[in-house]
Amino acid sequence: MIEEEVEDLEELGEDEPEQEQEMYEHFRLEVDPGQNLLRIDRFLVDRLPNVSRTKIQEAAEAQCVQVNNKPVKSNYRVKPKDIVTLMLPHPKREIRVIPEDIPLNIVYEDDYLLVINKEPGMVVHPSYGHYTGTLVNALAWHLKGNPLFKENDPRPGLVHRIDKDTSGLLVIAKTEEAKTKLSSQFFHKTSSRKYVAVCWGNLENDNGTIIGNIGRSISNRKIMGVFPEGSDYGKHAVTHYHVLERLGYVNVVECVLETGRTHQIRAHFKSIRHPLFNDPEYGGNEILKGTTFTKYKQFVQNCFTLCPRQALHAKTLGFEHPGTGKWMDFNSEIPQDIQQLIEKWRGYVANRELEDIE
């Protein structure tokens, strides 16, 4: 199980006196039980979005990369259950969780947990560049007095996350016991989640499975790349999908995650050349299928305006209640922007005969 504490790292200024350069722990990770032997510099660069491999190697030379509290070289091969820490001469900047009175769509709440239907555009937890306006800021207001929601903990109660522009269901723990039990379910894949998405193109089969390691893109560290299954780069990832509706140049699909990696659905569908509709980071905000007619281009642009984000919604969520042991299922409506997008494509298909659909 990997537990990451990822902080924004800044270069130490050249004019800063050496005697003031204390060492601080910026990252702490526990290696997954199923992790293959892998060089520690590759292991870290795969998991830390803001740190280059060169910087990690320099840190190792300076004895700032440790495994189980002992310095290691950059060619050390991590093993399951290793505790890896990266130390750098710059203190972590504290992120305070400021309670904010932000409306939440709460679909269920009791003494143990609450289930939120997150709106698109809302960041889940505070991070650098997103200090306020997050789901956690709203929860800190809603759960004033809850000891779990401490001012200096940017991820209280969180057991899973969804992207800023992805909408849908999230469960939030209200006690430490609930957080432990719910986190265990997500880690051991005994919880249940289904997503609905609109992707570009006409998928060859009604049912399919995408398998490929997911790790930070080599060419663009802000997004995730998909690498061959079994390679020593990235983490094993499996996405199952079922085509719900074929709408000519786009398909509506249901996705079930066998693993839960960052940007998993978005990266996997990009890898099979069917990126999610209007996903700017994975190329879905371009006209990838269809005709060259001006009217068609305008139609697609209108669709982009109608749904100004990746068309992805976390529709269902199921888990065992941490207090009662009872199985709980939640289902959310497809949000208006995605529903209107689907209706618009239905109208297009109904009124036009499509040829040579790929």
16-26 pLDDT, tens digit per residue, is 223 333 444 46
Q: What is the mean pLDDT of residues 238-249?
A: 97
Q: Where are the alpha helices (DSSP H) in the chain?
A: 40-47, 53-61, 135-142, 176-187, 264-271, 294-306, 336-351
What percentage of the chain exceeds 90 in pLDDT?
57
Q: Which two tokens stand for residue 209?
A: 């499975």
Q: What is the mean pLDDT of residues 164-184?
A: 94
Q: Which of 260, 261, 280 is nearest to 270 (CA)?
A: 280
Side chain identity at residue 38, one-letter code: L
**For residues 53 and 243, which has the higher predicted lDDT (pLDDT)?**
243
Per-residue confidence (pLDDT) for residue 216, from 0 to 100: 86
Tokens for 189? Answer: 């894949």
* pLDDT: which is higher, 302 or 235: 302
In the predicted model, what is the mean pLDDT of residues 60-81?
A: 88
What does the pLDDT read at residue 5? Answer: 29
When pLDDT is averaged across residues 22-33 and rounded to a whole number, the result is: 68
pLDDT of residue 325: 96
Of 254, 233, 230, nearest to 243 by C-alpha is: 254
Q: Tokens 């004895």 sit at which residue?
A: 63
pLDDT mean across residues, the chain:
85
**What pLDDT sits at residue 151?**
64
Q: How many CA atoms lie within 13 A of 155 on its CB side?
A: 12
The residue with greater pLDDT, 63 or 284, is: 284
Q: Is the pLDDT of residue 90 over 90?
A: no
Angle at 229 between CA 219 and CA 221, to 5 degrees: 20
Per-residue pLDDT, 22: 42
Q: How far apart are CA 5 and CA 21, in angstroms?
A: 21
Over residues 189-241, the pLDDT tens digits come to: 899 999 999 999 999 999 999 999 999 888 887 899 999 998 888 889 999 99
Mean pLDDT of all residues in 137-152 = 84
Q: Write down the pLDDT at residue 142.
A: 93
Q: What is the mean pLDDT of residues 151-158?
A: 74
Quickly state the pLDDT bin for 4 (edges 50, 70, 90).
very low
DSSP for 128-174? TTB-SSSHHHHHHHHTTT-TTS-TT-SSTTBS----TT-EEEEEEES
Residue 352 pLDDT class (50, 70, 90 cuts): confident
Q: What is the mean pLDDT of residues 244-260?
A: 95
Beta bridge partners of 226: 214
Q: How does residue 166 score in pLDDT terms, banded at 50, 70 and 90? A: very high
Q: Which residues 6+ apart lie within 8 Å of 284 measured at CB? A: 199, 200, 270, 275, 276, 277, 278, 310
Asked whether the beta carbons of 105 and 119 are under 8 A apart, the reply is yes
pLDDT at 149: 75
Is the pLDDT score of 10 beyond 80?
no
Determine which one of 41, 46, 82, 163 is catalytic. Answer: 163
**DSSP strands (E only) in 9-103:** 24-30, 38-39, 65-67, 70-71, 77-78, 83-88
Most confident of 43-47, 133-137, 192-196: 192-196
Does the pLDDT of residue 44 top 60, yes or no? yes
More confident residue, 350 or 304: 304
| pLDDT greater than 50 at residue 6 | no
Which residue bears the tokens 């809302």?
Answer: 122
How far apart (Å, rounded) are the C-alpha atoms in residues 64 and 20?
Answer: 16
Model confidence band, residue 45 (pLDDT cutoffs 50, 70, 90): confident
Active site residue 46: no
- Measuring CA to CA, which residue among 6, 80, 82, 81 is closest to residue 45? 6
Contacts of 63 (CB under 8 A, 6+ apart): 71
